[in-house]
Amino acid sequence: MKSCKNSQCFFGLITILVMSALVLPELFKQGMFTDGLLYSTVASNLYHGKGTFWHLYNSATLYPGFYEQPPLYFWILASFYKIFGDSIFVERFYDAFMLFLTAFLIHKNWQTLVSVELKKLSFVPVFFWITIPVVFWAYSNNMLEITISVFALSSTFFIFKYYFTEDKRLFLLLAGLFLTGGFLTKGFVALFPLSIPFFYYLVFKKFSIKKWLIESFYLMLIPLLVTGLIFSFDNSRSGFVRYLTHRVFHSIREVSTVNSRFYILGRLGMELLPIIGLNVLFYLVRLVYGYKDKIAFNKKVIFLLLIALSASVPLIITKEQRGFYLVNSMPYYSLSISMFFMPMWKNIIDYLSKKKQVIKLGIPIATVLIVSTIIFTAFQTDKYSRDEAIIKDVIKLKPILKNEKIISVDKATWDHWNFHSYFMRRCGISLDYSKNHKFFLTIKGNSKVDTSLYRNLNLKTLYFDLYKMK
């Protein structure tokens, strides 16, 4: 028993090490992908009293009414700022917290689905999940999907408990509560767990329309009640309707980031290729060496795969598609793939567990490497993952612009969305290209800009030139 616990500890530490190494050093550097930067800016504004829960605020000139996403995530992150202070590293801490919370929830979902002897192998799906490229990228860039994943996994955990452990309707109500959290974080894409009762009867039992409808009702009860409350009050109704019209319906009708609706399916294949390839490679190598591992192509594998597909395939509805939209579905693909190849991995892990010296030596080494990764991460906080020159200039210009709320920019500068977020997040300044203000900002080398009303301050900046009205 002690040997079993030691080996379980070793493989768990290896998984934590991989998670930490793939995410933390990059996460705690300066600079962030545009969407994550925008979200942290809106949340910071909410913390500072700019905007309200249903009527969020980005800047005076870009999304003064921010209705691009539902409000719950921004309120949660604003609460983190209230507790820990308004630092860019607070959202990094939040992302790291979400990373390990998601891993824990994958572990809990796995344990709810499998037999007793496989419960201790929950690190396998966690390992496969974090090694999917778009997953560790999303956690390094504060994407909204990492919060949805927590709500979705919490919801599916209670649904799985209802179907596979204890038949208690309370579990469906709790699942519906977390489903509501996902819905208030990113709308309809977070509602894919509603399909689980249908898949359960489709895969495991003779289909019962009555039971399916009753269980679906319990699952939808809290989301429906909350939606009813939203539409019962003018403030919440107006905010939510603007989200639906400005974001949801607009993106379906008009927004296009890809040429084909099926782009997302190709991207899904590319993201899953490494872990599928790794499993197939191990299986073939072991086959060559005479190990005839079984494949667990069972109903639970199909069940999990259907859930994963329900979280990813509906994205073809709109041509606004990005790879990180798939992050919500990846825990379920990792669970399905892990279960499919689990007989092989159990044999490999059982064999390695018998190497007591390897395990005994590996535990302290893995622990030291995790601590080293954390220390290494601490030394990354003054380094940059992107936008180094921009960030340094914003910091340098902040004392000069400390009394300004809005500064002028040219159209080319305005069109860089990350500029808006950096100036608002770090200086509380909005950028405006439609009016002349006291200060004018442009990108260095832009010879097409009319600066006749201004004089160049000739600051030793790296990326921008700042002018002051004559």
For 149-158, the pLDDT digits (tens) are: 999 999 999 9
Both 135 and 242 in one domain: the answer is yes
Of 8 and 301, more confident = 301
**Does 347 lie in the same domain as 302?**
yes
Task: Report DSSP state, residue 55.
Answer: S
The answer on 311 and 449 residing in a single domain is no
Q: Does 310 share its domain with 435?
A: no
Burial classification of residue 7, based on how many CB atoms lie within 10 Å of its CB (0-12 exposed, 13-18 middle, 19 or more buried): buried
Q: Kindly state whether residue 371 falls inside one of the protein's structural domains.
A: no
Task: Specify whether 301 is located in the same domain as 156.
Answer: yes
| Percentage of the chain lying above the pLDDT 90 cut | 85
The answer to whether 346 and 121 have CB atoms below 8 angstroms apart is: yes
Note whether 339 and 398 are same-domain residues.
Answer: no
Q: What is the pLDDT of residue 267?
A: 95
Q: Report the pLDDT value the prediction gives residue 139, as an integer from 0 to 100.
A: 96
6 within domain boundaries = no
Task: Please indicate, yes or no, if residue 13 is contained in any of the structural domains.
Answer: no
253, 177: one domain: yes
Instruction: Judge whether residue 217 has pLDDT over 90.
Output: yes
The continuous run of DSSP H or E covering 34 comes out as helix 34-47
**Residue at 83 is within a domain:** yes
Tell me the two tokens of residue 273: 């290729």
pLDDT tens readout for residues 328-338: 999 999 999 99
On whether residue 18 sits in a domain, the answer given is no
Of 329, 354, 379, the residue at which a domain comes to its end is 354
Cβ-based neighbour number of residue 351 at 10 Å: 10
Beta 430-432 vs 464-469: how paired, if at all? unpaired
Task: Work out the burial of residue 119: count CB atoms within 10 Å of its CB; fewer than 13 is exposed, 13-18 middle, 19 or more buried.
Answer: middle
The answer to whether residue 362 sits within a structural domain is no
Whole-prediction pTM value? 0.95
d(C-alpha 285, C-alpha 215), whole Å: 45
Averaged pLDDT, 159-171: 93
The answer for residues whose C-beta is within 8 angstroms of residue 400's C-beta and 6 or more apart is 439, 457, 459, 466
Domain, as residue range, for 443: 388-469
Query: Is residue 399 domain-shared with residue 339, that is, in the same domain?
Result: no
- Is residue 342 located within the same domain as residue 397? no
Q: What's the rounded Cα separation, in Å, for the pair 214 and 201?
A: 13
Number of domains present in the structure of the chain:
2
Whether residue 27 contacts residue 139, with contact meaning beta carbons closer than 8 Å, is answered with yes
pLDDT value at residue 446: 84
Q: Give yes or no for a contact between 158 and 218, defined as CB atoms under 8 angstroms apart.
A: no
pLDDT, residue 3, reads 47
Q: 376 in a domain, yes or no? A: no
Does residue 438 register a pLDDT over 50?
yes
Determine, yes or no, domain membership for 166.
Answer: yes
Residues 296 and 434 in one domain: no
Chain-wide mean pLDDT for the chain?
A: 93
Average pLDDT of the residues in 284-305: 92
Residues 168 and 116 in one domain: yes
